[in-house]
A and B are shown apart, each in its own frame.
Chain A
Amino acid sequence: MQGVMFIVLALVTLFSALMVITRKDPVSSILYLVLTFFCFAGFYVLLGAQFLAAVQIIVYAGAIAVLFLFVVMMLNLREPEAEEGKELIPIWKPLGYAVGIGVGIVFLSYLASSPGPAIPPLNGGDEIYAMGRADFLGKALFTDFILPFEIAGVLLLAAVLGAVALAKKKRV
């Protein structure tokens, strides 16, 4: 059952991710992005991380993607002008395909020659379920992972300050 779910999710993820980068119209591109985020949430559920799945939907599919949509609509970035679509140098497109396929082949061949995960799978569904719960995560964040957690706070501060610095009106 889980195997089938995974394959279906994986196919949908790949399809929507491809659509994100191939759509010319930014709005539909973003909508496919939302779909991709949903699929990620599905993966989290399959892995027993139901809290993360919920957060993924709320933050990414909800907040971030919607923000993207707003920006796109406000700036009215519809279809790019025609001249932009002109082929700049014909070599780039085929090269892009080739490199993309190359990356795929390299990773697949790595996967193919790997015996499997080194860490043993967690025993039983209960343990997995327990690890995905919010209280478990909260405890981990405030004990073992207190330092990364705090650093992430500083990182966000830096990001906010940076965004403000670049966005605010000139006053010099």
Chain B
Amino acid sequence: MDFAVWIVLFPLIGLLFNTFFGKKLPEKIVGWLASLMIGASFVVALMITLKLAALDPEHRVVEVTIFRWITSGNLTLDFAFLIDPLTSVMILVVTGISFLIHIYSIGYMHGDSRFHVFFVFLNLFVFFMLVLVLGNNLPILFIGWEGVGLCSYLLIGFWWEDQKKAEAGMKAFIVNRIGDFGMLIAMFLLFYYLGTLKFTEMFPAAAHLWGHSVGAPAITAITLLLLLGATGKSAQIPLFVWLPDAMAGPTPVSALIHAATMVTAGVYMIARTATLFMLAPTSMMVVALIGGFTALFAATIGIKQMDIKKVLAYSTVSQLGYMVMACGVGAFSAGIFHLMTHAFFKALLFLASGAVIHTMHGALHKVHDHDTDPQDIRNMGGLRKYIPLTYWLFVIATISISGLPGFAGFFSKDEILANAFASEGVGYVVWGLGLVGAVITAFYMFRLVYLTFHGNYKGPEGSAEGLKESPPIMTAPLVVLAILAIIGGYVGLPPVLSKFHLFQTWLKPVFEPAYSAVHYHPHHLSHGLEWLLIAVSVSAAVIGLFIAWLMYIKKGLIAKSDDEQSGIQRLLLKKYHVDEVYNAVVIQPLIDLSRYAWKIFDAGFIDNILVNGTARAVRVFGGGLRRMQTGIVGNYALMIALGVILILAALMGR
């Protein structure tokens, strides 16, 4: 399967070409070239999947070595791809969604002065994302991991102007570094214990080493550190704070990176290292709880947000929580299933919201209104009449995410909840969290639909005439995504409806070793119970929908301004003050510490106090006038002598 290397080469070609020639070429060529390269990658991904499907299920693990990468002592690593069913799902999702979003961007970024740079970054992102999901060992995964982080950072910052946003965006990178720190340490420890970092060798070795001492401290620590990495990338508690701020970037970026692909890398990583996690039941429990709490917690914040993209951002955090939760209860394939359906409907939501913003922006621009925020839902309302296509697409996605029967989101979310219910330990707890989260999800999503598209237009006078549907180049990808958001779930029908779960069967060879390492057998629910669970989760969605309808259509409530909020509403609006707490607990102390260290250790400080603080003589030396500060050297010498005492005393008492 050597042709697989082309899947990463196409984006590379695209970005190199646009780097060197993009500036001079017209937008159309730049945009379409970048898009077609990703399209070509998608075709390669399809071919890989078909080839894989042609093999026996047991043999669906193919390694494609590109070059000998590192040989150092006892560590030998190839730069190689691991192609198995899990990879095939990921590359299909990544290239497919990316292709659509690339095309959408041609319309969305039209007229931007750095049009080609945007596409270079976008191609670079796809390249790294593919490296991430294809790598056959942890260091390659980590390279992709860092690479997508970097691209995400560059793309968030694409439109930044003011200092405040720049600082907010740095948060994304720094928070992610905390997660990466966990990854790196976990990697070192794995190498220390197992002597290899290659997935195909690592998992049997781990099963061999810890199989008889399940839950040993070492593997628990390693998996918790990996989890830390996942919480950074996939925006889970406690490291989720960066994702909502990342919405400052252009909307296609939010759709691609901060909804459909990059943020799911953490989930992918957990699924990929499923064997390790299965060996550490405590970590699994932590994973499940973090996922469950994030799902609920982020959903509640979503209730009160006024910025259309912020609502979607918190919804992403919440949905990622469901995926992590699925992994935590051992239902890895359900997690990946939700990852896929979520990619469809969340990309659709973001792109549709982008279309809305595009429309609002155009309308406001016409009346020369630059003060009104085109992303604030309080300025929208009634848009259904002006942009019906976008409205219907948005509604489809909303139904899908809310989990109403028949749509993609329903199947995957239902599978997660059923698995949570069936699992031991904290199963009921996380099921409860997920269920309440589902009610709230339906509520805030329909609130968003009602406030944006129903009621009366609340924008500035005269701007209503400017509201126009977006160009076909933007709406066409939306239609494709909408179809996927409807039918995407039928590859994984629940057991009560069909005996054959296509998605689960496809992924089974990947997760089988993880289960067998600890002799784990997934529980099966009786049909009756399963029907009951389906009924419960559907009614949860309906309740949420109903409350939203009651409040925003029946009673005609409109969103209140910030000052009118009180009590718990205010708490939600302020996102539980998490940012403030982080600032006070983490960031400020670091700044203080740095200032303190600077005072003690920086020679410059001593100079300033001693030299500027006292009017020292300006000495005449040689021919010219020079300020000399030699007197201070004595103090440095004193410090050095102090160091001498410490070291000699330490060696003496050794």
Contact = CB atoms under 8 A, between A and B. Distances in A.
Chain A complexes with chain B: yes
Interface of A: 81, 83-84, 86, 88-89, 92, 95-96, 99-100, 102-103, 106-107, 109-110, 113, 167, 169
Contacts of B617: 81, 83-84
B625 interface: no
A107 B641 CA distance: 12
B557 to A, nearest CB: 66
A166 to B, nearest CB: 9
Contact of B614 (A86, A92, A95, A102): A86
Given A81-B617, A106-B652, A167-B622, 19 more contacts: A83-B615, A83-B616, A88-B610, A88-B614, A88-B631, A89-B610, A95-B638, A99-B638, A99-B645, A100-B641, A102-B645, A103-B645, A106-B644, A106-B645, A106-B649, A107-B648, A109-B652, A110-B652, A169-B623
B600 interface: no
A29 to B, nearest CB: 15
Contacts of B623: 169
A81 B631 CA distance: 13
A22 to B, nearest CB: 13
Contacts of B645: 99, 102-103, 106
Closest 9 CB pairs of A and B: A102-B645, A106-B648, A99-B641, A88-B610, A99-B642, A106-B645, A81-B617, A99-B638, A96-B638
Given A106-B648, A110-B648, A84 B616 contact: yes
B498 to A, nearest CB: 81
B55 interface: no
B568 interface: no
B641 A89 contact: no
B529 interface: no
B609 interface: yes
Contacts of A83: 615-617
A99 B638 CA distance: 7
Interface in B605-623: 609-610, 614-617, 622-623
B635 interface: yes
A1 B635 CA distance: 42
Contacts of A99: 638, 641-642, 645
A154 B654 CA distance: 40
Contacts of A88: 610, 614, 631
A81 B641 CA distance: 28
Contacts of A110: 648, 652
Interface in B147-204: none
Nearest to A88: B610
B625 to A, nearest CB: 14
22 contacts: A81-B617, A83-B616, A84-B617, A88-B614, A89-B610, A92-B638, A95-B638, A96-B634, A96-B638, A99-B638, A99-B641, A100-B641, A102-B645, A106-B644, A106-B648, A106-B649, A106-B652, A107-B648, A110-B648, A113-B652, A167-B622, A169-B623
Contacts of B644: 103, 106
B497 to A, nearest CB: 80
Contacts of A103: 641, 644-645
Interface in B47-71: none
Contacts of A84: 616-617, 631
Contacts of B614: 86, 88
Contacts of A96: 634, 638
Nearest to A104: B645
A89 B614 CA distance: 10
A110 B652 CA distance: 7
A102 B638 CA distance: 11
Contacts of A102: 641-642, 645
A107 B648 CA distance: 8
A113 B653 CA distance: 12
Contacts of A86: 614
A95 B640 CA distance: 13
A107 B651 CA distance: 12
